[in-house]
Every structure is written in structure tokens, then in C-alpha cells.
Structure 1
Amino acid sequence: MTGLASDTSYDFYIRIDCGMGDYSLWVGPYTAQTLISCFPISDLQADFVGSDLADISWNPGQMETEWELEWALAGTITTPGTGQGTTVNVTTNPMHQLTSLTDDTAYDIYVRAVCDPTQPDYSSWQNISIATQCLPLAATTVVPYTEDFETFTANLDFERENCWSATFNGSNNFSEYDWNVTTNGTTPTGGTGQMQQIQVQIICILKH
């Protein structure tokens, strides 16, 4: 069989040609894995991530000079190479700058080497995830700046949202940062009264 992609698993079925237009039943599937035509890229990384752009680089797998890069909002790409994200063909240098990104947003980035563009034939995908930076507070921001957290997601193991992030010390962990909501306006957990809430706000403002 020809025209297969490298580093790819295929299922196949077999039947016997008994002659005179008579065939046995199909048996299978049997599975075979093609060899890698060129090695996957390595050291895929974001050299710089701003609020609206990101510089991505990697090392070639071998001597290839062409790559395919696909990117999209985090969670959008479930099967790279099928058009779920934005695809960019990169040539000569193993680097690319993503532009027109949205601030405070997570993205998934996939890169693979192009072994033979005429077949086409590719290496396996490598991927990373990045999060763009938040925009700085504008000089026109009303002082004092306040955040009531009313728009934050309830019942979430809070780590990062709306340009706020949680930190922890000692044995604490992110699962202890929860925004809980009840229908009667009370606090559903103990030890989280107003004084403790004010303390959290002050810490967050200093770290913003």
C-alpha cells in the first residue's frame, strides 16, 4: 500500500479471492503503524507572550525546513490537522509570531514537521498551551479601584479568572479558593466572613 501518512495507525481487513467472483468473508480489523518519515519537532515553547501576541519557537526534528502550525482558543482543537483551528505554514526558520490575540485568554498551539508536502506526509504533532497577559490598568481608572467578584464563576476551584489569580502558602492549594453562592445571600462555608473577605481583596489588589 502506498500514499500512507507517516507515524499513523491504520486498520485493515482481509478476505480471500476464491476465483469466479467468489470471496470469503472479511476478517479484521488488523492494525499497523507506519514508521516516522521525519522526527517530531522538539522544545516547542513560547519565547514571549504579551496581551495580544506570542512568539513561538521550536527545534526541527531533523533537516526539514517546513512546518505546519495550528492554533485556537484552548479546548477548540480536539483533532489537529482537521481545520478546527487557524493553520499557518511556516518555512525556513522554526518560529512564528501569533498576532491579534485576545488579552487574558488561553490558547492551544500545535506544530508538526512537513516531511513531504507532495504526498502530503507529516511528523506527529507537538503542542503547548499559553495564556495571554492582562491589559494594565489605564491611567483613567477610577481610584480607588474595587472588585466585588460578582461576575466570577461560582463553585469553582479558583486559580485564575478575570485577570485575578490565587496564590497559596504551606499546605494550602487552589481547591481552597471557592466562590460559593446561595439563594439567601448567606455564606455557605464557615470562617469566611466579611473581615476575611476584605483581607483577600487587599492581597489581590497588591499583586495585581
Structure 2
Amino acid sequence: MKLKLLLITLFTFSIGVFSSGQSTINITTTGGSFTSEKWVNITDMADGAGTQIWGQGDGTYGNAQGLINQDIMLAPGTYWVNCYDRFADGWDGTTIDVTAYGASIGNNGGVSPDDGTDNDAGSGWETPADELEASFMIVVPSPPACQVATGITSSNILDTSADFSWTASASETGGYNWEVVPQGDAQGVNVVTSGTTISGASTVSITGLSSGTSYDFYIQTDCGTSGMSTWAGPIVFNTAVVACGSTVYDTGGAAGDYSNNESYTITYLPDTAANVVTLDFTLVDLENCCDTLTIYDGLDNTAPILEADLESIGSFTAINTDGAITIEFTSDGSVGGAGWEANYTCTPRPSCVNVSGITVDSSTSDTVTVSWTENNIPAGTDWEVVAVAAGDPVPAIGTSNATASPFTIPSLMANTSYDVYVRADCSTAFVGLMSVTTDCAVVTTYPYTTDFTTNVPNACWEEAGSDLERLLTGL
């Protein structure tokens, strides 16, 4: 009777562990020290007992020791993941995470495996009981109706681009959605770039990234009527660092053309805070009507524009305090070209950098208030601000008259057009011109008389017309 009961119990346990169909899980071990000492297997009982279902490498105890990132096919059910160390002294900070379809199903409580003992007699693989550091249970779920892509890998990672490939999902019917976010951000947060693929695709080339930057890649399967899968990822990757002195190119590289429907922004930084960036464009071959390359003096595309639509070769040097230049490129859906090529260099910041970004903030009938961007490090404290009659020559250099931005120019004529110039005190040249017209004079003394035989209606007066009734009634 006891024997029959035992057989029934084992049969029930077996059904709990193994069922029809296969699910995909992933085991990833990361970080820590002495990483070559780690080995993992999966069994149907705790502490490595029972039957080994899967083992690292070829499954032989200790084979292919080291860190892994591996997809494994298992029947849905309950298993134990066992963590071994060749010196039996713990995993030295290495962690393990087991995931299934985008969700963690076990990670040893988030701590590095360590049983707190060291029974090791040497550097070889001793008995599994001696080398075991942790054993934790996982429950492998059944495959979802829409399965994620697996085997995701990156390749051809350059300064602003990267390629990704994956093993196709068996349930994919509508392609894949993908996105890139800054490394460490959650999927969908601060998305840098995103897109879709056609059905059957298993690769994607991503452009418009920033050099020397860490990103996370995510991908989602479109299963048509079965809906969307969970997002697979993150897959961490780092773009290459483009150093000053390099030649930089559009997405086609040194020999290829750029593609249709591109849109990206790249920021080039100086190598030290004492330097500034120069981009010397030696090739510009774009579709003139519809593809645009814009150059900004700063860290992003909100900075002052150095060139709104570059159509020929030219050189641009940053004058902003960060020393950076940002480019923004867009192309439409047809006709392309060889693209652009530039020498990216960093040189010492000039001892005197003139102002930029002159803006008219406001005006009255006899004043104009202007502001500007100060570009010196440390920032200057004296400037010369001059308004001359519109069309007059650039004024001669005088003495500084402003100690702060914004600055109000006084004693101007009402309803008069002026050209405004500003220079840093250390500079021998004005920046400008910025045109502005003062407001009409306000009538404050009555009665007020003007002779329209010589002063015809202008910007300050409106002609009422000849309808006497409208003139008298205001209707």
C-alpha cells in the first residue's frame, strides 16, 4: 500500500514539472569578480538533486564555466536553478536573473549566490554538494499567444548607428516594434528613436544615435489578431566614441549614400572644457529642395542656428560656452545623394569670443531693449551697444556702455527704424545688425495739431475715410 501511494505521488509531481509544449526562458549572469568560476544547471529537485534538465555548456558538470546570457527551451512547470562556484567561496558579487517572456521568474532574491561556507580543498571542480552556493525555484509559464523575439544581438556598432538581429517569433504576423532609450531608463521612457519592421524581418539598422553613449534596445512582436507580445529587453549597447581629429559622415559612411526618410540629431563635444569644436564640411551633396542639414551652436537643436540649410561646403566653429556643435539632418521619401562629410576637430577656445544671439526684447517710442548671449569663459561684464539709423554703416568702435544683458538704449526718435549692434568689450568688431522700429509717440498734450498737407497718414495714423456719418458717430 505504501508503494502504491509513493508511485501516485511521483506521478503527480512529474505532471507538475513537465507538460506538453515548450517555453523559452533566459538565464543571464552578470558582474562580480572571478567570473570564470561560475557554473549553472537546472534540475527537477532542489539543491541539484533529481534529474538535470539543462546544464551550462554541454551539460557536463563545470563545462564552459563563466558568465552566460542564454535562451533555454523547457516544458512549462517547476524547476530549481543551481549556482556553483569552483572555489566554493561565493559568487563574488555576480548576480543571476532568469526571465520568461519579459518577466523575471527567479533571481536568488536579487543577491549574489553564497552559502556562507568554504569547503573547497583546491582549485578544481569538487563534488557538486561542496561547490553549490545557491538553489532557487522557478516556475516556467506556458508560452503566451504572442511570443517575444529571442536571441537578440547587436553588431556593427559605430558612433551614431547600430544593427540588431534576433531569432524570429513563431507567432509573428505583423513585424516588430522596436525602440531605443537611454541606458537605465524603462521601456517607453525618454525614447531616443523607434520604429517598426515588415513581417518576416529579423534585423534592423538604427541611426541617429549619439557617440560614446549607453543605450537600451527593446523589441516587441506584432502577432496580428493575437495582439502584441511583451517587450523583450533591455539589450545594452554603447556607441563608439568619435574623437576630435576624426572624419565624420552621414549614415552612408565614407562610400555610401544616405537613406530616405531619415531624421536624426548628433552633438559633437570638445575633448576638454578649454577647447571648442570645429566642423569643416568637405562634402555636402543633398537633395536641395527637400533634404536639410542644419548646424546649431550648442548642445541641442534649441541652440542658435549657425546654418539653417547647408547646401555647400563650409566650416563652423562653436562660440557657445560648452564648445559644442549640434547637427540635425532630415531627408524626405525620394531622391538622395552622397550626403555629407566633415573633419571634426577641437582647438583651444579663443581668448575673446564675441557675443551672439542678439534679440530685441521690447521697444517704446524712444527706447529699445536688447539682449544677447555672452560666450566668454569667464563671462564678460562689459559690452558696447549701439543703435544707428537704418541703412547707416557699421558704427566705429567706441567705449563700453552696458554692464548687463538685457540693456535699454535711450534717447531714440519715435516711429524710426534703427540697426542695433553689440560687441563684447574684448572684441574689435560689432555683431549685428538687428533691425527694429521704435513705437509711435504717445499724444499727451491737448489740443494736438498736425498738418497732414505735409505729414500724410503713416504707421502712427490711420485714415478714417470720407464717410461723414462714420466720422461723427464712430460707427
> TM-score, normalised on structure 2?
0.21
Higher RCO structure, 1 or 2 (CA under 8 Å, sep 6+): 1
> TM-score, normalised on structure 1?
0.44
